[in-house]
Amino acid sequence: MAEIFRRHEVLERLEGDEDLLRELVDIFLTQSRVQLEELTAALALGDAAAIRHQAHSLKGAAAGLGAEALSHRAAQLEQAGREGDLTAAPALLQAVQEELQRFQQTAAV
């Protein structure tokens, strides 16, 4: 199972700079909320290309910040957009939102 937050790995890359980690998490959370709004709008429009693009962006940002489980869920949503089959997209978007919430709770500790 994918980890919610690989904090120790990210902190190691940041040479132990806790303040920088907090700042990066704050920026990520702000940006990811905007991306979720964009994903929700794209889903309402049935815009598979926009879903693929936003999910890809979220996947990469999450991976870079050690949000492994969130990155995995975003990858699944990206794949749905890439395939143009949005049947599962509402459930996948819900899973992305839940993983983001789990990340936020874990990162705040």
Domain CATH for 13 = 1.20.120
Give domain status of residue 73, yes or no.
yes
For 20-31, the pLDDT digits (tens) are 999 999 999 999
pLDDT tens digits along 21-75: 999 999 999 999 999 999 999 999 999 999 999 999 999 999 999 999 999 999 9
| pLDDT of residue 101 exceeding 90 | yes
**Domain annotation covers residue 1:** no
- Record the pTM: 0.93
Instruction: Give the model's confidence band at 109: pLDDT under 50 very low, under 70 low, under 90 confident, else very high.
Output: low
Residue 51 lies in a domain: yes
From residue 94, alpha-carbon distances to 46, 55, 67, 109 in Å are 16, 13, 16, 23
